[in-house]
Amino acid sequence: MPQIRLTEKTIAKLKAPDPSGNQMLYWDTDLRGFGVRASGKTSDKSYIIQRAINGNTRRVTIGPTNVLTLAEARNRAQGYLGDFARGVDPKAKKAASATLGSVLDDYLSARKDLRPRTRESYRAAVEGHLKNWVDRPLTSITRDMVERHHVAIANEVVAREKEQAYRDATRWEQRAKGAEKRGWMDAAANHRQRAAMAKKRETNSGHVAANNAVKVLRVLWNHAADREPDIGANPVRLKKLWYPVKPRTGHLASDDLPAFYKAVMELQSAVGRDYLLLVLFTGLRRREAEDLRWADVDLKARTLRVPQTKSGRPLDLPLSDFVHAMLIARRALGDTEFVFPAASKSGHIAEPKFFLAQVAKATGRRISVHDLRRTFVTHAESCDISPHALRALVNHSLGKDVHSGYIQMNVERLREPAQRVTDKMKSMCGVKEPAGKNVAKLKRKG
């Protein structure tokens, strides 16, 4: 391996990538074990330190040459050499001091491919359910700690939701009493209805949250172990202790749809009504529908675009006659940024649970927004449209076989399948076509 006297000038002259295509190490003649590593594939050059300890050779990367000055790198190198002289493995020392919070930051920084929602969920899991461990060294987290905390997370979720339900019920009761004193009897009745719903609210088991938080810990530990193999075995080894979570299958059968549609149409909130109808008749995901902007709706071309979806791909959908008519009616209500505006921090509808609770009270059937997406997919499958068209309508992958890679589904190809599903949904819901001599039926495009 080449030995040279490292100076700012000699380091600048080192070639990277090296013409050989291989990584090259240049060792300093003045400070034994200190050197520069030049990549054989990129322009990266980094300061390094290497020594043997306990029969093992350890190499520590100090930092890039274009970030650290030579003087700074030498100073850090001498600190590492001091560790070696005292019999302390710098890599083990570094691994032992890395906290859960720092590993999370490093992981999110390294994984450029993660979607924003995934990043949010990882940070929420650590800073929420694992918050007591954020500043704790990763290597201090034991298997026993993980097993006990896994149970504690589930219990905390149940307790928190019960407490929240109690606070919500109390708040609405107080508002009802205040409305009665002012003679606002309709408002009081509405507040008492919300209080009753809060008291009957089903609490989450916390099983999904507990499993997900511990899985995030497992991922972060593996990430740290890839960089520092000496941190030891991953403590997340629950095996049979994972909470069983059954796949959700809730949806509305054809016999359920008339009552559901009737209850939705009777909602006092036009925003809540139209939001639920859009999800039911398009299969959009909850957040895709919530923050839909008018800038992404083309009523003339009869299309809408979801710029950011779970798959990472934008979704272009044709508007069926039912959805098109509904959006025209919504547009006539005023000039807003969002299709479903609300007095929330985001400016759009953010929580449809109240509307779904009102529908549940009228129908006796509790349904989630994702259940409506399953309803769309379930009934769309029976409309004799191609599997590829169905996947494209709900923005699922077209598949991994050789033919799927050649298929390009554009919005016009999906227009007829989308209308076919809408026609069936309208029939099952009992949607009545507008009648009267002054009402013209909208023509389909294509």
143 and 20 in a common domain: no
Q: Which of 178, 210, 241 is the last residue of a domain?
A: 241
CATH number of the domain residue 381 falls in: 1.10.443.10
Judgement on whether residues 62 and 201 belong to the same structural domain of the protein: no
- Of 373, 419, 394, 426, which Cα lies nearest the Cα of 261? 426
Q: How many CB atoms lie within 10 A of CB 130?
A: 23
> How many domains does the structure of the chain reveal?
3
Claim to verify: residue 220 and residue 264 sit in the same structural domain = no
Distance from first CA to last CA of the chain, Å, rounded?
71
Tell whether 9 is covered by a domain: yes
Q: Measured between alpha carbons, how far is 280 from 262 in angstroms, rounded to an integer? A: 13
Residue 252 lies in a domain: no
Distances (CA, A) of 227 to 50, 114, 321: 16, 19, 55
Residue (of 197, 202, 252) closest to 370 by Cα position: 252
Give domain status of residue 436, yes or no.
no
The one-letter code for the residue type at 100 is L
What are the φ/ψ torsions at residue 206 (nearest 5 degrees)?
80, 0
Is residue 111 assigned to a domain? no
Range from 74-83, 88-97, 116-125, 274-283 that averages highest in pLDDT = 274-283
Indicate whether 435 pLDDT > 60. Answer: no
The answer on 425 and 312 residing in a single domain is yes
Give the residue with greater pLDDT, 396 vs 432: 432
Same domain for 420 and 286, yes or no, is yes
Same domain? For 204 and 289 the reply is no
Predicted structure pTM score: 0.59
Looking at residue 60, which CATH number applies to its domain?
Answer: 3.30.160.390
Of the candidate ranges 84-98, 159-173, 231-245, 408-422, the one whose mean pLDDT is the lowest: 84-98
Is residue 142 packed enough to be buried (19+ CB in 10 Å), middle (13-18) or exposed (0-12)?
exposed
Q: Is residue 96 part of a domain?
A: no
Do the Cβ atoms of 325 and 277 come closer than 8 Å? no
Examine the domain organization and report whether 287 and 369 are in the same domain: yes
Q: How far apart are CA 411 and CA 88, in angstroms?
A: 63
**In this model, does residue 249 exceed pLDDT 80?**
no
Structure tokens at 279: 């999800």
Nearest Cα to Cα of residue 356 among 172, 177, 197, 144: 197
Q: Tell me, yes or no, whether 365 lies in a domain.
A: yes
Domain co-membership, 29 together with 157: no
Q: Are residues 421 and 287 in the same domain?
A: yes
Q: In this structure, are 264 and 361 located in the same domain? A: yes
Tens digit of pLDDT for each residue in 83-116? 887 777 666 656 556 889 988 988 888 888 887 7
- Tell me: do 285 and 176 sit in the same domain: no
Containing structural domain, residue 10: 3-87
181 domain residue, yes or no: yes
CB 46 within 8 A of CB 64: yes
Tell which of 71, 87, 103 closes a domain.
Answer: 87
